[in-house]
Amino acid sequence: MTTVESAVRPPQGQRRTEGEASGKRAGRWRRDKTLFFLALPGALYFVLFFYIPLLGNVVAFQDYAPFLGFTGSSFVGFENFTAMLADDAFWKAVGNTLEITLLQLFLYFPAPLALALLLHGMLGNRLKRLVQTVVYLPHFMSWVIVVAMFQQVFGGAGSLNMFLRQNDISILNIMNNPDTFSLLMTSQVIWKDCGWGTIMFLAALVAVDQNLYEAAAVDGGGKWRRLWHVTLPGIRPVLIMLFILRLGDILSVGFEQILLQRKFVGANASEVIDTYVFYNGVIDGNWGISTAAGLMKGIIGAALMLAANKLAHRLGEQGVYNR
Amino acid sequence: MNLNRRSFLGLAGLTAAVAVTGCSTSGGGTAGSKAGAAGGPLKMPTYVPFAGPTPDLPGNAQGLDPGFLKFPASPVKSVKAVPGDGSTITGLTYYDGPIVPQMSGNAFWQEVNKRLGVTFNLDTGNDEGYPTKFNTIVAGGEIKDFMWVAPNQGLTKIAQLAEAKFVDLTPFVSGDAVKEYPNLANFQEMTWQAAVMNGKIWGVPVPYSFFGQVYAGNKKSWDSVDGFTAKTPDELIEKFKQLTDAKAGRWALEPAYVNAVAQFNQIFRGVNTWKLEGGKLTHMFETQEYVSAIEMAIKAFQAGVFYPDPKITDIASKVAQGTVAAQVLSGAGWVGVPNQPGYGTAWEMTTFIPFGHDGGKGVHNLARGSVGFTGISNKNDEKKTKMLLKVLDYLAAPFGSEEWFFLNYGVAGTQHKMEKGAPVKTKEGETQLAFSNQLKFMTQSPEFLYYPGMDETTKAIHTAQQQLLEISQPSPILGHYSETNIDKGQSLTSKVYEYIEDAVTGRRPLTDFKSVVEEWKSGGGDKIRKEFEESIAKAG
């Protein structure tokens, strides 16, 4: 196991003394200039489109009207937060979000891993590449198409139910059933993004030392033992990193996907924090409350991610970044 | 009639039922015509009807559209001089349709610029994106010369916005002043009310049908069950059942449950959003008639007569094929149906005239005769404002005028050619004239009926309009204004409508309705009522 970890960990640069460092600063600038300018547009992008818009969160503390602007709208303190917390619809949205996100964490998160293991075990490169291409494709379809396809097949007038009707079998309410909506959503996500999710795992699987498999086989380890003792530990750092990143946007559950299917099951089953923000803010013009909800969501996501990362470090894992 | 109705339907669909019932969550809320806040009572623009060609089927001031069986042989000139001063006009308007060829490659656009003496530089928003786009532009502070203010679209604080950013047009169009712009004087008073807030006129309204939502059915389907009418609600549901054959993939009704409830509400003679009695208002949600309508929709749902998926994308073609027997359309969408390709040969339409649940007649809830208004940015001085009004006057040219003909068919030989006395668009014109649909949402001709070569259809719709007008009731809050209604009305109503969808489909029990209405009341419904009652009292 230790071998694997040090293999993944990037080699540490040789430490320099203080004096050497200052003396070489000009030289380093000359050497890294190109890299710096290459990184600049990316950094600017983040500043312009992520950090500066963060300032817009001030709306959460205002009775905001777009035409009055940030400066013209009056400050109302935490009134938006109080109003939001007193709103039943908000708590309904939180409840639905948690239900869907937990379900996805347990059902969706392992799915790409399983698929990656299957793909990795495939012999024959041409076939493997073909299968990979096929499973990546759905990721590039928009939700409009995915939902329309699901409706065409599983909807009330879809091909499955038309077939059942014509054969006098009772129909299945798959698309319009609020009770199973979170399951439906999760299966749609798996169908669409499972293949795409394998990319990281496949890359990690390739990095596992082949000698370990041989050694395990020589020691009499069967297929399952090799999976448990070699493969999974080998990709553990990647697994944990992806898990932590997933926690960061755990409260974002398929905005478009839900918006498209809201009418199918009603708001009671489908309202999540993101749609609450959308309907309240953009549609109903309650910018303040919506921004408050969005801000809360962001803070909870960031806190979860940092906490999970901390925990990973405590347990001796790499987490998202090296310390 | 001349707006791009099919696409506007989508826009209306966003809060379709709100539009129908004229719930006046209007972005351009209306203030009492006699209830001017400051500066005394507001004088509405004088109505001077257009003296153009005589229609074959006369219209009237109640909202009956004039019908024309033949294209007017010699259009009348309605605008005296080139309205523009050569400047560029910016605007935000509604458009949803095929991509319009750019100005440089669009001979029609160039000709419009030339004849109006301006250069149009328009930005457009479509269906669900319109409020977002509008709000973004407002937030960015780049108010355009013309801003189309959509009704029912969640544009909040419109009165404040108008006070801050629009020209108060009252001195320009109130009373006889409007005669300066003869085509705008051709708008009826009810239409103008779309642009009135705080006792001032904040824009030029976009005339639209006076008719509320109607059930439009496939005539062939309904003929097979003895017509789209009945004597009792149960009999009508029985007909729905006869028209439904799920095995064959046929259903009676489109899955627009809230709109269905609005139709059934008219069978029970329910109110047009509000009922006014002795100065007191009762909302339709609080009436027994509305509950009965929901019950009827639940019965229909349980009978399986609604199309089984709540989302349906190609409803127009499904009705045309008879796969779905009826759909609810806005008044304007309804009279636009015969303009669809294939109408008259592939299929024909029949209109549901609401009957009374206990015998006799039902009611028809009227719309407001407009679809929002176009405000003028107050960055413009008086001279420029007058020029911009002249431009709108040109765009408002009515059917039967030279200007209308040009705006809709372009130039002979380029965008259209005459066949048997009626204009037919050329292929080139078909694409270029899409630009004309962008202009229409700034303002346009009042409604009319004209379906080339379909005299029977024209007469049938004209007759149906008369039948609907006989049982019509306007909304009592029309011409009155409630700030809360504009800010919160749509959001409140849509919550109730979401419940109705849940109730009709069996996701929530009807017994919950009471508490939903209580929430509506405490969430702002009562405040809206109070504001409207005060406005009505002030107007006397």
Looking at residue A314, its pLDDT comes to 85
| Min distance A193 CA to chain B CA atoms (Å) | 24
Question: Does A188 fall in a domain?
Answer: yes
Question: Does A234 fall in a domain?
Answer: yes
Residue written as tokens 């977002």? B132
Same domain, B382 and B488: no
Same domain, B151 and B228: no
Looking at residue B303, its pLDDT comes to 96
Q: Which residues in chain B have Cβ-Cβ distances shorter than 8 Å to A265?
A: 507
What is the domain count for chain A?
1
Q: Do B507 and A282 touch (CB under 8 A)?
A: no
Looking at residue B17, its pLDDT comes to 30
| Min distance A96 CA to chain B CA atoms (Å) | 16
Looking at residue B271, its pLDDT comes to 96
Burial of A284 (0-12, 13-18, 19+ CB in 10 A): buried
Q: Do B310 and A151 touch (CB under 8 A)?
A: no
Q: Do B132 and A151 touch (CB under 8 A)?
A: no
pLDDT bin (cut points 50, 70, 90) of residue A227 is confident
Residue from B217, B252, B242, B203 nearest B27 by CA = B203
Q: How many whole angstroms separate alpha carbon B437 and alpha carbon B126?
A: 12
Same domain, B76 and B180: yes
- The answer to whether A152 and A163 are in contact (CB under 8 A) is no
Dump pLDDT digits (tens) for A9-58: 444 545 555 555 566 788 888 889 999 999 999 999 999 998 888 888 88
**DSSP per-residue letters across A180-233:** GHHHHHHHHHHHHHHHHHHHHHHHHHHTS-HHHHHHHHHTT--HHHHIIIIIHH
| Min distance B516 CA to chain A CA atoms (Å) | 12
| Min distance A55 CA to chain B CA atoms (Å) | 15
Name the helix (H) or strand (E) containing A261: helix A255-265
Dump pLDDT digits (tens) for A146-192: 999 999 999 988 999 999 999 999 889 999 899 999 999 999 999 99
Question: Does B359 fall in a domain?
Answer: yes
The full 3-state SS of B153-164, as one line of letters, equals CCCCCHHHHHHH
Residue of A nearest to B165 (CA): A67
**What's the whole-model pTM score?**
0.79
Question: Does B442 fall in a domain?
Answer: yes
The beta strands (E) that lie in B406-448 are given as: 416-419, 422-425
CB-based burial, A109-120: b 16+ in 10 Å, e otherwise: eebbbebbbebb
> Positive or negative CA dihedral for B521, B524, B528, B534?
positive
Q: Which residues in chain A have Cβ-Cβ distances shorter than 8 Å to B155?
A: 285
Residue from B141, B148, B97 nearest B122 by CA = B148
Looking at residue B528, its pLDDT comes to 95
Looking at residue B288, its pLDDT comes to 97
Q: Do A284 and B141 touch (CB under 8 A)?
A: no
Same domain, B347 and B402: no
| Min distance B49 CA to chain A CA atoms (Å) | 38
State how far the alpha carbon of A272 is from the alpha carbons of A258, A284, B253, B403, in Å.
8, 16, 30, 51
What is the domain-level CATH number for residue A304? 1.10.3720.10
Looking at residue B524, its pLDDT comes to 93
Same domain, B256 and B296: yes
Question: Does A231 fall in a domain?
Answer: yes
Q: Which residues in chain B have Cβ-Cβ distances shorter than 8 Å to A162?
A: 249
Q: Report the amino acid identity of residue A281.
A: G
CA B527 to chain CA centroid, nearest Å: 26
Question: Does B458 fall in a domain?
Answer: no
CB contact set of B85 (below 8 Å; sequence gap of 6+): B117, B118, B384, B387
Q: Do B309 and A266 touch (CB under 8 A)?
A: no
Using CB atoms, which residue from A155, A282, A286 is nearest to B132? Answer: A282
Looking at residue B394, its pLDDT comes to 97
Using CB atoms, which residue from A165, A266, A284 is nearest to B501? Answer: A266
Q: How many whole angstroms separate alpha carbon B454 and alpha carbon B460?
A: 10
Q: Do A268 and B507 touch (CB under 8 A)?
A: yes
Give me the domain span that covers residue A234: 2-7+83-314
Domain final residue pick, B446, B462, B495 = B446
Q: How many whole angstroms separate alpha carbon B118 and alpha carbon B116?
A: 6
Looking at residue B110, its pLDDT comes to 96
Q: Does B420 touch chain A (CB under 8 A)?
A: no
Using CB atoms, which residue from B154, B309, B498 is nearest to A157? Answer: B309
Q: Report the amino acid identity of residue A171.
A: I
Q: Does B248 touch chain A (CB under 8 A)?
A: no
**β-strand pairing of B449-450 with B67-68:** parallel
Q: Do B508 and A268 touch (CB under 8 A)?
A: yes
What is the domain count for chain B?
2
Q: Return the number of other C-beta atoms located less than 10 Å from residue B446's C-beta.
A: 25
What is the domain-level CATH number for residue B377? 3.40.190.10
Domain final residue pick, B429, B446, B463 = B446
Residues in chain A whose Cβ is within 8 Å of chain B: 65-69, 148, 151, 155-158, 161-162, 165-166, 175-176, 178, 260, 263-269, 279-280, 282-286
Looking at residue B470, its pLDDT comes to 95
pLDDT bin (cut points 50, 70, 90) of residue A2 is very low
Same domain, B418 and B515: no
Give me the domain span that covers residue B278: 214-365+474-539
| Min distance A54 CA to chain B CA atoms (Å) | 17
CB contact set of B465 (below 8 Å; sequence gap of 6+): B63, B64, B65, B211, B335
Same domain, B223 and B342: yes
Same domain, B80 and B202: yes
Looking at residue B32, its pLDDT comes to 36
Q: Return the number of other C-beta atoms located less than 10 Å from residue B474's C-beta.
A: 19
Count chain A–chain B contacts defined by CB atoms under 8 A: 85
Question: Does A31 fall in a domain?
Answer: no
| Min distance A222 CA to chain B CA atoms (Å) | 50
Question: Does A72 fall in a domain?
Answer: no
Same domain, B285 and B300: yes
Q: Do B309 and A156 touch (CB under 8 A)?
A: yes
Residue of A nearest to B245 (CA): A165
Three-class secondary structure of residue A74 per DSSP: strand
Question: Does A321 fall in a domain?
Answer: no
Same domain, B138 and B266: no
Q: How many whole angstroms separate alpha carbon B35 and alpha carbon B537?
A: 9
Looking at residue B405, its pLDDT comes to 94
Domain final residue pick, B427, B446, B465 = B446
Dump pLDDT digits (tens) for A233-282: 888 888 888 888 888 878 888 889 999 999 899 888 899 999 988 888 77
State how far the alpha carbon of B286 is from the alpha carbons of B265, B362, B365, B530, in Å.
12, 19, 17, 15
Same domain, B10 and B150: yes
Using CB atoms, which residue from A151, A165, A286 is nearest to B246? Answer: A165
Using CB atoms, which residue from B139, B308, B502 is nearest to A67? Answer: B139
For chain B, 540 residues long, give each residue's pLDDT as a single digit of tens: 344 443 343 343 333 333 333 333 333 333 333 333 444 678 999 999 998 899 999 988 888 999 999 888 888 999 999 999 999 999 999 998 888 999 999 999 999 999 999 999 999 988 767 888 888 888 888 899 999 998 765 677 788 889 999 999 999 999 999 999 999 999 998 899 889 887 889 999 999 999 999 999 999 999 999 999 999 999 999 999 999 999 999 999 999 999 999 999 999 999 999 999 999 999 999 999 999 999 999 999 999 999 999 888 789 999 999 999 999 999 989 999 998 888 988 899 999 999 999 989 999 999 988 999 999 999 999 999 999 999 999 999 999 999 999 999 999 999 999 888 888 899 999 999 999 999 999 999 999 999 988 999 999 999 999 999 999 999 888 777 788 887 788 889 988 999 999 999 999 999 999 999 999 999 999 999 999 999 888 876
Taking each helix axis from N to C end, the angle separating B490-504 and B257-267, rounded to the nearest 10 degrees, works out to 90
Looking at residue A4, its pLDDT comes to 43
Question: Does A40 fall in a domain?
Answer: no
| Min distance A174 CA to chain B CA atoms (Å) | 11
Residue of B nearest to A164 (CA): B247
Dump pLDDT digits (tens) for A200-222: 899 899 888 888 888 988 888 88
Same domain, B197 and B340: no
Q: In the predicted model, what is the mean pLDDT of chain A?
A: 85
Q: Does B56 touch chain A (CB under 8 A)?
A: no
Q: Does B136 touch chain A (CB under 8 A)?
A: yes
Question: Does A60 fall in a domain?
Answer: no
